[in-house]
Amino acid sequence: MTPLLIYGANGYTGRLIVEEAVKRGLKPVLAGRNRDALEAIAHANALTRRVFELEDPAEIERNLDGVRIVLNCAGPFSRTCEPLLEACLRQRVHYLDITGEIDVFALCHRTDRRARHDGVVVFPGTGFDVVPTDCLAAMLKQRLPDASHLVLAFEAGGGPSPGTARTSVEGLAKGGRARIDGELVEVPLAWKSREFVREDGSPRTAMTIPWGDVYTAFVSTGIANVETYMVMPEKTIARIRWLRHLRWLLALAPVQKFLTSKAGQIAGPDQERRARSGCQVWGEVRNAVGGEESLSLMTPNGYALTVSASLGVVDYLLANSPAGGYYTPSLLMGPEFVLKLPGVRLLDEGGG
């Protein structure tokens, strides 16, 4: 049996995962739509490749023959998740991806009962979206079991990949999201802003964004109110708030096509830039009577963490046989999972 198929193996993050998988002695099958790119990577690493689109369910199922785990690295996942996930469920293949898209988490969660029945692990979000934040939320829940409000934030250096940039373009048209009293609620772009303090004591401004934890943290912890923030310069926050007036325009198909095309031209950070750009993640919880707890993590570059976290999950599934169903990082791997990844440090308090 082929242990692992990586779909989107020729993309920015997919290539990084393939490179590390080979170093670990894995022999993944490389898959995607670009025959020439896959052929080159497969030849360089003495791997096999399968070229297929995602329009024909029967074709997808044929290409999953003999596969145990699919790791989907082809974004935007709003387009690639559903057909691959359906094929995985029918073929009883574990489904993983590196999404951070709220609607994709919701789609995957709706398959929980079916996945449980068929013994299939459905685990979207095996990378920087949302492993460190989800694990931090679960650790905070342990410290304050009756927490009613959760705030998560991150500062990510190094710049986006083409796939991340394309997903962000889609997100602009959808506006913001927050979890309020247990319900997913649409809120304006840059709905709230506030400061967080880095490990070195310097303040950082941040704005709310529709990060995946708005969905997943509620599943992991049951905390009914969740806000997620990303560090941004104040001028950028002001510009994004101005875009609220143009949201109708951003949703138009020609505008989306143009912006997506531009986003696809981004090269993504090179190895040197990834090596010198780490991240800080903050988490805060409070309860109804004013009790509070806070923690923070220092992590390597988000793409480096995505590689190590995703392959950590793959290794776990190859060595274990967990019950089928929908999982978040902390529910399958435990809250301490992120602390076992290379370059991750837990700070005592959220401010450093």
Q: Which domains occur in the chain, in start order?
A: 2-128+304-333 (3.40.50.720), 131-300+341-347 (3.30.360.10)
Separation of alpha carbons 297 and 345, rounded Å: 6
CB atoms within 10 A of CB 89: 18
Q: Is 73 helix (H, G, I), strand (E, B) or coil?
A: coil
The answer to whether the CB of 117 falls within 8 A of the CB of 241 is: no
CB atoms within 10 A of CB 106: 14
Q: What is the DSSP string of 142-166?
A: HHSTT--EEEEEEEE-S---HHHHH
pTM, rounded to two decimals:
0.90
Name which residue leads in pLDDT, 163 or 217. Answer: 217
User: Quick one: pLDDT band at residue 247, thresholds 50, 70, 90?
Assistant: low
User: Quick one: pLDDT band at residue 352, thresholds 50, 70, 90?
Assistant: very low
Give CA separation, 80 vs 8, 53, 86, 99, 242, in Å.
10, 10, 11, 10, 31
pLDDT at site 182: 97
Name which residue leads in pLDDT, 308 or 273. Answer: 308
pLDDT at site 254: 58
What's the mean pLDDT when you consider all of the chain?
88
pLDDT at site 76: 87
pLDDT at site 156: 80
Task: Tell me the per-residue pLDDT of 284-295, one tens digit each, with 9 for 90 and over.
Answer: 999 999 999 999
Task: Tell me the per-residue pLDDT of 189-215, one tens digit each, with 9 for 90 and over.
Answer: 889 999 999 988 999 999 898 899 999
Three-point CA angle 344, 345, 347, nearest 5°:
145
For residue 1, pLDDT beyond 90? no
Task: Tell me the per-residue pLDDT of 117-153, one tens digit each, with 9 for 90 and over.
Answer: 999 999 999 999 999 999 999 999 999 999 999 999 9
